[in-house]
Structure 1
Amino acid sequence: MVLLKLLHSGCVLSSTLRWCYHSQVTCNNTCRGPEAWGQVFQRCSGRSQSPVNIVTRRLVLDERLTPFHLTGYQERFHSSLLNNGHTVQLDLPSSIRIKGGNLPTSYKALQVHLHWGKDGGLGSEHTIDGERFSMEMHIVHIKEEYDSLAQAERDRAGVAVLGFFFQESASANKKFDTLINALKYIQQPSNTTLKGVSLGMLTPSPNNMTKYFRYEGSLTTPNCAEAVVWSLFEKAIPLSREQLAAFSQLRFSDGQRMVRNYRPVEPLNGRQVYYSGGQAAPASTALLIMSVLVSSARYLHTALRTHEL
């Protein structure tokens, strides 16, 4: 749609291969917006692309989606915080691991980045029943056997991303102060060192990470490799409007304000989205509870008839 608007306005499209977001495309900056990614990056035209709209009435409950085992999420570390021209990215120690949640193997952490709107407005990539959230955070992991994202992209399940939604709150979330205060040092594409931070500071407590959505998809930026096992948590993280707006002070690589850096939703094309449902009792436990209730009911019925009560 952005390309059509440019054509109708008389703008001349260049042959640049540089990709960008909707908010960057103008007559003076004819970079390749999301609708044109597939013209340059073939994988972006695949049938298992991300993000998607999650329709709750079409979810399928999957009891195999058990809580994750998180290793190193509470450990503090020093690392590079980077404005890479498209988003803000925090590199993660490879000692951080996840397993469980019906993942095929253990995965090691690579980096965490975010997608947002404008001045605290709506800006998540995934939507739920058509509703967009204020922001979305992606913690990117790759299978332990791989040395790089490039290697993991060749495997349909080589990448595991934990996704978190954000919602506006009346008060500030102090756990994010370290990250948000550091943004002023990387408003232009550059990097700084973030000290004393942990993933536990940026994510909900493990008790609030039992309900999540699962589907197979892709990276949400070129090259859009369809190699991602997505887990999107239902519990949203609160941030104040001021905290959310701080991300909009960053600058893209072209110098424009870094706003609305999200890809529009892609069609599911027959893919199923599953739901964990939280820590539901195993079927065997449920049957045991039912048996006890039935036995108790029978006892009460017998006792009443024989006047034992």
Structure 2
Amino acid sequence: MSDVPVDANAGCPGTQSGNAGKTSACAGCPGQASCASGQGPPKPDVSGVIDRLSEVKHKILVMSGKGGVGKSSVTTSLALALASDPKVQVAVLDIDLCGPSIPRMLGVEGEGVHQSADGWAPIGVKDNLCVMSIAFLLDNKNDAVVWRGPRKAAIIKQFLTDVNWGEIDYLLIDTPPGTSDEHISSVQLLMGAGSVDGAVLVTSPQEIALLDVRKEISFCHKTNLPVIGVVENMSGFSCPHCKECSDLFPSTTGGAAKMCEEFNIPLLAKLPLDPRLAKCMDDGEDFFEKNSDSPLAKNLLDLAEKLKEMVQ
């Protein structure tokens, strides 16, 4: 497996190039000096990651280049869908450090992390679902996380090395929008440890969202991170009364289906917008328990089964 480049920007010449560390795209990159000397970027210490994740069967990143497409709600819903099978153990790692919303969505906002000789204990949501987030380490839920890249990288590594995950079937890692520090750090550590199944990319139908998701696909290709598939979220509006689904956002360029065809990657699901999901997540309630008859609930359960098949 090739090294993950320190800088995944489009202008990065790559660590094996004769121009590595010498182009304008290299300015400001922490690996510039080592690349220019021919040594390449230093490899992260992944021994602790290997040890801690040894009992985690599948590690899946949930990503999107675009904010506001419902990536965290898809992560939360997918985790609950997987955990609807009591024999499946599920965990969520929230590395959206500046906007950690998953604890609220899972109804465990305000909980605190407990530390033992075995490391940090993730917060239990139900018997077979747990979560870890920076939100549990903040004194006040309104506190802003104003950190530079190195500190972000350090806390992500700490989540992967110090949390006592135990035996987990599926670890879903919710990332922030974009292709920056959090993504590079998590991909470096997971791929360096040889333990990541790939990424699920979330988009909405309109071209303004697809533009940024294409950049996320480029990031995955540059870092050798497999793309499991794409989820088109908010793909129509599902009326909670009549169950009819109508278009909400225009897919003027063919939506996620056209993009997936362009890049030859699977379209995993088209999820309609159901206002009951937003209410459940605001209230920290299980959408599947309260709305089992919803078309969205069926689509999410189908997505969970498809994901199981693709990473087994």
TM-score (norm 2): 0.27
Larger-Rg structure: 1
